Structure 1
Amino acid sequence: MVKVAGFFAMSVGAFIFWQTMDKIHVWNALRQDEKQERFEKEMEIKRVREELLRQAKDKDALA
């Protein structure tokens, strides 16, 4: 009986551990995706800002 109870307890413990690790993995992946999206937005903003500054500089040079 003790062996069966021990096996059952270890099986439940392994299942809980597996589920927890899966949730942590999903959370970490979502966090990395958010970081990547934020980085891409910042790079796009910098690119647009530099383009606008370049256009303004060209207009001032022509005037």
Structure 2
Amino acid sequence: MVRVATYFAMSLGAFIFWQSMEKVHVWIALHQDEKRERLEKEAEIRRVREELLRQQAEQRDSLA
């Protein structure tokens, strides 16, 4: 009886452990996706800003 109870407890513990690891894995993956999206947005903003600055410089050069 003790062996059955021990086996059941160990199986339950392993199940809980794997479920929690799955949740941690999903959490990490979501945060990596959010970080990637944020970096892509920042790169796009930087590219647009550089393009606008280049256009402004060209307009200043053409006026001068």
Query: Which TM bucket (shorter chain)?
Result: over 0.9
What's 1:35 paired with? 35
Stretches of structure 2 that go unaligned for 5 or more consecutive residues are none
CA-atom RMSD in angstroms: 0.2
* Deviation (angstroms), 1:49: 0.1
| Dislocated runs of 4+, deviation >2 Å | none
What's 2:50 paired with? 50
**How many equivalent pairs are there?**
63
What's 1:12 paired with? 12
Stretches of structure 1 that go unaligned for 5 or more consecutive residues are none
Deviations 1:13-44 (A, max 9, x none): 00000000000000000000000000000000
